[in-house]
Each structure stands twice: as C-alpha cells, then as structure tokens.
Structure 1
Amino acid sequence: MISTWRRRMAARRARKLKLRSGEEAYDEVELTIPSEFKCPISLDLMKDPVTLSSGITYDRESIETWIEAGNRTCPITNRPLGSLEPVPNHMIRRVIQDWCVENRSHGIERIPTPRIPVSSMEVAEMLDKVSDACKTKDQSVCRKLVVKMKALSKESERNKKCFKSNGTGSVLAAAFEAFSKTSSLDEENDAILKEILSALTMMLPLSVEATSCLGSSSSLHCMVGFLTSGNLSSRWNSAFALREIVSSDKRKVEALAEIEGASESLFKLIKEPICPVATKSSLICIYHMVTSSHPAKHLVISRFVQMGLVSLLVETLVDADRSMSEKALGVLDGICDNEEGKEAVRDNSLAVPVLVKKLLRVSELATEFSVSVLWQLMAISESGEDGGRVLAEALQVGAFQKLLLLLQVGCGERTKEKATQVVKLLNLHRERLECIDSLDFKDLKRPF
C-alpha cells in the first residue's frame, strides 16, 4: 500500500520535472525582433511609430527627445526637416501589433494603441476659440474648451509642453481677467473662473504678459475671493497663482497687500493648512509682502503680528522640513524689520531656542535667515528695557558655540558680518551667564 503511494508520488514528480524542463527549453528559444520594427535611435521595438518629413519612421519618444534637444535634421539622412511635427504611422503600428499577438507565447505583449498627441495647429485653434468666447462673453463655450484643454494636458507631458509652448498661459490669463471684470456674479461665471485658474496652474511658469493679466486689479480681487470663501481646490489654485504673481512682479505685492481680506486669507492657509504646497505658497506671498519696499509694508507687518503669525511660525518651525523652514525663517526675518514684529518675536519663549536650533542644521539659506533674525533681536535687546533677556536665552541654548563654528566653517559675507557682531555681544555677557559646554558640538557636521 505504502509502496504504491510512493510510486504514484514519484511519477507525479517526474511528470512535473519533465514539463518544467520543457518550458525552460521553450523559453530559451531566441526571438529576433525584425529590424523594420526597431526604432533607428533606441534600437528597441517601436511602441508609437511616427514618420518625419524625411520619410524615416522612429519611435515617438526617441525622436521627440532628439528634436527637443535642438536638432532640426533627420538622424538617419542628416537632412533638414521641413516640419517638426511627426505623423503617426498607423500601418507599421498595426503590423507590429499583429507580430506581437503572433508571438505572445514567447512573452511578447501587444503594444497598446497610443493616444494621438495634440498638435500645435489644434492648440492654436482651441486658443482662438477661447479668445472669441471671451469677446462674446460666452461662458459655456469657454468652459468646455478649458475643460478639454485640461484633459489633454493631463494625458501626457508632451501635450502639456505643446500647450505651454503655444502661449496657452497668456490666453487663459487674458480670459481670466476678462471674466473677472464681468458684473454678473452667477454660478456659471464663478465656475468658468475656477476652471481657468485650475488650467493656469498647469501652465506655470507664466510669461510676463500672462503675469500682467493675472495681476490686474480685477483678477487679484477674484483670486483673493476664492482664497477667502472658495472650496479647497480653488483656494489651492489661488495660492499657487498668487505665489507666481508676487514672485515675478514686485509691483503686484502692494496691490495684493491693499486688498481687503488678503492678509487674513493667507494667514488662514498657514493656521489651517490644506496641503504643504498651499502652505508654502502662502508663506512665499507673505514673505514678499513683509520684505518688499512698498509704503504699506509696516502696516502689513503689524497686521500679521496682531493675528498671531509669529507664534504660528515658531510652532511651524519646530518640526518643519527644509523647504518649510527656509520660508518660515524668511518671513520671521522680514517681520523683525518692524519694531512691533521684533517685540513679538522676543516675547515668544520658543523663538530664540528654535532659531539657534536651526543654525547649521537645515540649510545654508536657513542659517542665513536665523543669523539675521538673531542679529536684529540682539540690536533691539541692547537698547530695550529688557536688554539682557535675549542674550541670556541665546547663551543658554548654545548660540555662542554654534556661531563660532559657523564662522569657522565659512558663510556669506553679510551673514559673516552679522554673526561676528552677535558673537561680540554674546561674549560680553559670557562671564556672568551660564552657557553649555562647547564639547556638546564636537560631532556637529555641516550639512551643506
């Protein structure tokens, strides 16, 4: 009985082994890809064959990479190309697909039918229609076109580049300005503005012309309105667009600062974050508002201080990443250019420890901002009523040793000058104030 069972098991193992060896032998059969199916550039099987004006067929990804590199000749014939728009070769694609199906037993997968990318001519036609719809205030047609453009841009990076290179940003910015000036406040007008703004964030960075249209008074008021009472998507898009505007055109900073509710909306994005990108965009906007030399600068800083921005920034800095730390420190540095701002930073018990902690720990830019803030705080503490408090706090958390190390490893000239002044101020009080042992920094390495 047992011997019979053993014989059956041995026979099963033998059959499995035979089948397995047969499969391995079958897999070892070498399959040669026909040369006419290979791209002349990559020498791989073409997934999306296209033909140039020279008559040579290439894989779309390879030839577009060649053209984007600045080449204007056919790689094979070396002759100038009459047109840079490759034409899909449907016949060779179908032949390749049939060959893949025939050889699927060898592990060859059928190449999917590619989506035909949008052409410059198609983009130009859509943009002309958008411009016409703006002139006639046809919200329905304009919205359908913008939705279609967004869908095509999301299909592939190639489509997005085609839209951007054909001036889509300028046309959409002009459309946003046109519809933002309309007196009607109906839902349809609100919807088209949100669609255009969403599409605009896909076209960044914007040209000077586009930034000018998007930075108009009506456009700014509209975006601040979305930032104040819009949904999450429109708030994100507005913050992103405003960041682009104030970063590229300093003249728009004052206009933004004067809009009622702008400061409060930007502050709310930090206090009640919806995503890191929106928070960072808001910090960049606030940075330009508190550092640019516009007449309302000090009024804007006072407004942010009264909202509680200093405490919010210090709390954000405790566990912030590199990018967030740099932006928050930059805003703190700008706030300290105002007497009320300095007092608010000095009155925050976590401010000095956090600033010293960021020295040499995050990035060179973060270190520069931290040194600048400490330098400004020290200057006012020497002449203020409570002059020794900031110095004492800085010494107790190791600012003197860190600044000496910074001067030793090197930094920019302006940062070096400020750090030297702070070290001199701290050195005057070292004898009467306890500070930590410098050996605590023996393993400190410069991360940049």
Structure 2
Amino acid sequence: MPMYQPSTGGQVLDLETAVKDGILGGGVICGGVTTANVEKLDLKTMIEQLDSIEVPSVFICPISLEPMQDPVTLCTGQTYERSNILKWFSLGHFTCPTTMQELWDDSLTPNSTLNHLIHTWFSQKYLAMKKRSEDVQGRSLELLETLKKVKGQSRVQTLKDLRKIVAAHDSAKKTVVDNGGVSFISSLLGPFTSHAVGSEAIGILVNLRLSSDSISNLLQPMKISLMVDVLNEGSTETKINCVKLMEILFRDSEIIPSLSLLVGILRLVKDKRHPHGILAGLRLLKIITLQQSPENSIISIGGVPQLVEMLPFFNPECLELALYVLEILSSIPEGALALKDCSHTIPNLVKLLMKISETCTQYALSVLWEVCRLSPEESAATAVNAGLAAKLLLVIQSGCSPRVKQRSAELLKLCSLNYTATIFISKCKLTRTLQ
C-alpha cells in the first residue's frame, strides 16, 4: 500500500491510518468547512493555484512528476495518474514504469483512498491560502482607513505597516488599488510632507499598479521635488524605491531633470555596496539621458568620467546600461569632449571589446569612434597603445553582425592614419594576430 509522509515531518503512515486518525481525512477542515463542502472544489484549479507549495511525494505521479488527479493502481501495486499510464501503454509498453516488471494484468484499479486523500490535502491548503488572503485584504483595508484619520508619528507607523503588507502580498496590492489607495497615498506627497511620510508613501506606491491618471498626478513638480529630496537624503532602500518610482513616471513623459536629481542618481550608481541600487539608478539614467539637453545633463555635473571609472565594477546587466548611456552622451559634442578628456575612457572601453556581449561591444565601439574622431592623432595613439587594433581585428574575424564589423574596420583605419603599414603593425604587435 502506498505510504504517506506528513508534510510536518514525523512518522510515515499508510493511507488508511492517515484518514482514520484525521490527519488529512474527514471532519472539520478549515473554518467550519467539512469534507462534503471540500468535494465541490475543483482539484485541477487548486493544484494550479498551489503550484509553488511542496507536495507529499506519494501524491506525485512517477511518470510526469506532477500531482495526480485521477490515481490508478497497477497489478504491481504501483500507482500512476490515469492519463500518464494510458499514454505509456499506447507507446507499446506492457511493463510497470517504476519496477519494469511485465504486467500479468493490464487492468487499472482506481485508487479511491489516495484520490480522497489528495483532494482533502489540497483543499486544506487551498482554504488556508484563501483565509490568509482574506485576512490580508481585511488588514489592508483597515490600515487604509486608519491612515485617513491619523497624523504625525501614527501616520508614519501606519504607512510603514501598509508598506510591508503591500510588498509581501499581491492581494494587498489589489485591495489598496481597488479602494482608492493610490489617490489617497499620492495626496500625502507635497511641499510640506516630512521625509518620513514621503519615504513610506513612495515605498507603497512603487509596489502598486499606477493608472495614467495616477502617473499624471504624481508628475506634479511639487511631488517630484519631494521625491528628489527623499532620494538625496533617505536610506538606501528609500533611494532605490525613489528611482524605481521615477522610472515608472518618466518612462512615457517628457521631463526636465533637475541637477539635484542627477546628483542623487549618480550617487546611488557609484555605491558599490548595493548592486540593486546601481541597476535601478542606471535604468532611470537611461530614460533621462534620452530626453535631456546637454546643458542640463549628467555631463554638466561631471558625471561622464565618474561613469567611465565605474565600468570595471559593473555586472553585465549594469554594464550594458552604462555603455548605452555613454553612447548617447558621446553623440553630443560636450559628451564626446568629456569622454576624450577622461584618461580612463579608451583603456576601459578597449578592455570590454569582445568580453561581455555583442551589444556591449557595439556600444563601446560607438563611443571609441566618437572619441577618436574628435581628436584622431591624440586618441588614436592612446588607443593603439591600449591594444585597440588587435581587439578590432578579433571583432572583424568574429561572428558579430556586419554593422559591428564595419564600425571596427572604420575605427582600425582611423587608428592607422598616422602610421605606415610596417610601423602600425609593429607598434600594435599585430604580427601574430595577422598570421
């Protein structure tokens, strides 16, 4: 007889004992719901909604490794999901998939005890999940109503409690949105809002689904100004929440970023202790870079050399974002000049060629092209000494796209203009590469 291991640990019980002792069987199941009520619940639906829960191994079909909904037992005593064992037979197999014994009887016996046990176990879990969800929704509504009545430190504490429950439960997010929570919490952000209230409100809003009207409301200058202040003075978690919220707000909006905002983003990007903050900051910086003018950009606050110097410390995802930003900035005369004047630009970019991804190589080539074109003699010599020529030949011989190979060829030609062929090959130490 199949054995059952209770999910709470302890003694292994057979199915009859498990049902008899009431571990998973009849009687009251949850909140007054009886076995008779449980039978009305659809097992397939419960399994789908509880897909992340750990299921006792006896409920798992050995063939599909999925919970069984219609268990049947073979003459060998092994139990399988009916549809799976029938498929096994249809493929010409007349053996038990688990033991590989030849079957002396091909009949399938419904395992009604196990079927009942599976249904009852999933019902218990499902009803418990629903009860927790309802409790979360009720608590969210309670906090939302309390928030409308309290002031001062009580408001901060209520916001903090709501932020935690919203961050942990999708049902809480939906409850807050459906009951006007976005509008009310947004109304708390203004010129006279304390940073404590602002930090908690932003932490809630960043977890909610925002409508176009909500986004328009949050884009009001006084609200953005508060977010910038909180970004510059809040905790690391608050700073990350700020840039994530502003990413949502700025994504489809024309904005003119303040220098204070750019300083706050750059400060977050430079903090090597918090990779999530670096990624969030670079994502927002990418959006802003596409929209800003040279006189009101990261260029004007000296951000270009700081980004360049951070390149060796970025992970691949952050590196691709940073190179994208630098490529956009290199297309602006002021940006190209800032890149040329930074002594680390060419060496750092040359090291990245053919190292991370074709996309990163493409961005790095574009930046190098703009820098070298701005000052061919000076930059080309620096590039050659940094080993650019050998890297370019590798790109040309690689499986990169024709566009990337073309840019590499153009850059290689630009670097070689000040040298004879012999001197260029010798200076770049290309003999082995060419061979």
**Residue among 295, 298, 305 paired with 1:299:** 295
Matching residue of 1:407:
396
Query: Aligned runs of 1:28-43 on 2, under 5 Å?
Result: 31-34=13-16
Q: Contact between 1:329 and 1:369, CA under 8 Å: does it hold in 2?
A: yes
- 2:172 is matched with 163
Partner in structure 2 of residue 341 of structure 1: 335
TM-score (norm 2): 0.64
Residue of structure 2 in register with 1:179 after alignment: 188
1:149 partnered with 2:158 = no
Residues in 2 aligned to 1:147 and 1:306: alpha-carbon distance in whole angstroms: 37
Report the residue type matching 1:299 in the other structure. E
Inter-partner Cα distance in structure 2 for 1:310 and 1:184: 34
Contact map agreement 1:176 1:219 (CA 8 A) in 2: no
Counterpart code for 2:198 = L
Do residues 249 (structure 1) and 252 (structure 2) align?
A: yes
1:161-193 C-alpha deviation (Å, 9 max, x unpaired): 223455639955433431113x544xxx54332
CA separation in 2, counterparts of 1:410 and 1:65? 45
1:282 is displaced (CA, Å) by: 1.9
Q: Distance in 1 between matches of 2:280 and 2:239?
A: 11
How do 1:15-164 residues align onto structure 2 when only pairs under 5 Å count?
A: 31-34=13-16, 55-56=40-41, 62-65=47-50, 118-119=132-133, 123=137, 126=140, 130=144, 146-153=159-166, 160-164=169-173
Matched AA of 2:413: K
Task: Say if 2:239 is the partner of 1:235.
Answer: yes
The aligned counterpart of 1:290 is 289
Kept in 2, the 8 Å contact 1:133–1:142? The answer is yes
1:127 Cα offset (Å): 5.2
Measured in 2, the distance between the counterparts of 1:139 and 1:172 equals 19
- Identify the range of structure 1 (281-290 vs 426-435) with the bigger mean alpha-carbon deviation: 426-435
| Structure 2 CA distance for aligned equivalents of residues 323 and 361 of structure 1 | 13
Q: 1:355 offset after TM fit, Å?
A: 0.6
> Which residue number in structure 1 is paired with residue 115 of structure 2?
none
CA gap of 1:126–1:437, structure 2 versus 1, over 3 A, is same
- What does the per-residue CA deviation read over 1:234-259, in whole Å, with 9 as the maximum and x for residues that have no partner? 2232123223333x3242xx24x1x3
Aligned equivalent of 1:221: 225
Q: Are 1:315 and 2:300 counterparts?
A: no
Instruction: Return closer, same or farther for 1:152/1:438 CA change in 2, 3 Å cut-off.
Output: farther
Most deviating of 428-437 and 332-341: 428-437
Q: Specify whether residues 166 and 240 from structure 1 end up closer, same or farther in structure 2 by C-alpha distance, changes over 3 A only.
A: same
Alignment partner of 1:397 out of 386, 397, 422: 386
1:436 corresponding residue in structure 2:
429
Tell me, in whole angstroms, the C-alpha distance in 1 between the residues paired with 2:340 and 2:47.
59
Q: What is the identity percentage for the equivalent residue pairs of Structure 1 and Structure 2?
A: 20
Cα distance, 1:299 vs structure 2? 0.9
Higher deviation after alignment, 209-218 or 362-371: 209-218
CA distance 1:152–1:413, shift in 2 (3 Å): same
Offset at 1:362? 1.1
Equivalent position amino acid for 2:262 in 1: S
> Aligned-pair distance for 1:396?
2.7
> 2 CA distance for matches of 1:330 and 1:160?
35
> How far 1:370 sits from its partner (Å)?
0.4
CA distance in 2, matches of 1:210, 1:124: 24
Change (3 A) 1:137 1:413: farther
Give the 3 Å change call, closer, same or farther, for CA 61–219 of structure 1 in structure 2. Answer: farther
For the structure 1 residues 394 and 242, does the alpha-carbon distance in structure 2 shift closer, same or farther, using more than 3 Å as the test?
Answer: same
- Aligned equivalents of 2:401, 2:185: Cα separation in 1: 43
Structure 2 residue matching 1:422: 3-state secondary structure: helix
* Aligned-partner Cα distance in 2 for 1:360–1:165: 45
2:278 is aligned to 279
RMSD (Å), alpha carbons: 4.3
Which residue identity does 1:249 align to in structure 2? D
> 1:119 Cα shift?
3.5
CA contact (8 A) 1:346 1:377 kept: yes
Instruction: Check whether the contact 2:330–2:371 (CA below 8 A) recurs between aligned residues.
Output: yes
Equivalent in the alignment of 1:270: 269
1:180 aligned counterpart, secondary structure: coil
Q: Aligned pair 1:327/2:284, yes or no?
A: no
Q: How many Å apart are 1:388 and its aligned residue?
A: 0.9
Q: Provide the residue aligned with 2:60 in structure 1.
A: none
1:100 corresponding residue in structure 2: none
Structure 1 pair 395–177 and aligned structure 2 pair: CA distance change class (3 A): same
1:366, distance to aligned residue in structure 2 (A): 1.4
Contact 1:198 1:237 in 2 (8 A): yes
**Alpha-carbon distance in 2 for matches of 1:150, 1:281:** 19
The answer for unaligned runs of 5 or more in structure 2 is 1-10, 53-68, 71-119
Cα deviations across residues 88-134 of structure 1 (Å, max 9, x unaligned)?
Answer: xxxx78xx9xxxxxxxxxxxxxx9x9676544696388459738955
Residue by residue over 1:30-50, the C-alpha shift from the partner in whole angstroms, topping out at 9 and shown as x without a partner, is 73234986xxxxxx99xxx77
**How far did residue 223 of structure 1 move?**
0.8
**Alignment check: 8 A CA contact 2:285 2:325 kept:** yes
Alignment partners' CA distance in 1, 2:212 and 2:434: 48
Residues 314 and 354 in structure 1, CA contact (< 8 A), matched pair in contact too: yes
**2:172 is aligned with what amino acid?**
F
Deviations 1:331-353 (A, max 9, x none): 22122122222122112222111
SS at match of 1:261: helix
